[in-house]
Amino acid sequence: MDIDARGPRFGAAVTTVVLAAVLITGSGWLLAWQTLAFALGAAGGVGRSPYGWLFRKAVRPRIGPPTEFEAPEPPRFAQAVGLAFAGLGLVGYGIGPEWLGLAATGAALAAAFLNATFGYCLGCEMYLLVRRVTVRAE
């Protein structure tokens, strides 16, 4: 079943704010929250993430029914990529080196910003590339 294309973009906007706050404050706890949000989105799909829930309950009723839909697999894969970067960031902030935390968080922030601002999902594009390569290999 396809998903409302606005949901992942809303989630990316919230993620952008959270990750920017992590870089500004250096808060490992805030990064841990974002890591959990990524983990829930990767495990259950973007609709199961806290930001997906917020979109469904608070935003979508105010903006009307969706007009564009997308397959759930690419955004779910993007959540897994975000989870990997946030996990690396936690390692960097937690046990070091600090530059790893900054770099991994910055990379996740850049990807979230691209999705939120321009609708360009790097993780989704990675998913499509992996699919093309694996289909050709079979």
Digit-coded pLDDT (tens) for 4-38: 999 999 999 999 999 999 999 999 999 999 999 99
Q: What is the 3-state secondary structure (H, E, C) of 62-121?
A: HHCCCCCEECCHHHHHHHHHHHHHHHHHHHHHHCCCHHHHHHHHHHHHHHHHHHHHHCCC
> What's the pLDDT at 16?
98
Residue 129 Cα distances to 85, 88, 119, 121, 125, angstroms = 19, 23, 18, 12, 6
Whether the pLDDT of residue 111 is over 80: the answer is yes
pLDDT confidence band for 1 (50 / 70 / 90): confident
Render pLDDT for 33-56 as a digit per residue (tens, 0 to 9): 999 999 999 999 999 999 999 999
Nearest CA to 33 out of 51, 7, 60, 45 is that of 51
> What is the distance between the alpha carbons of residues 110 and 103, in angstroms, rounded to a whole number?
10
pLDDT confidence band for 135 (50 / 70 / 90): confident
> What's the pLDDT at 53?
96
- Report pTM: 0.94
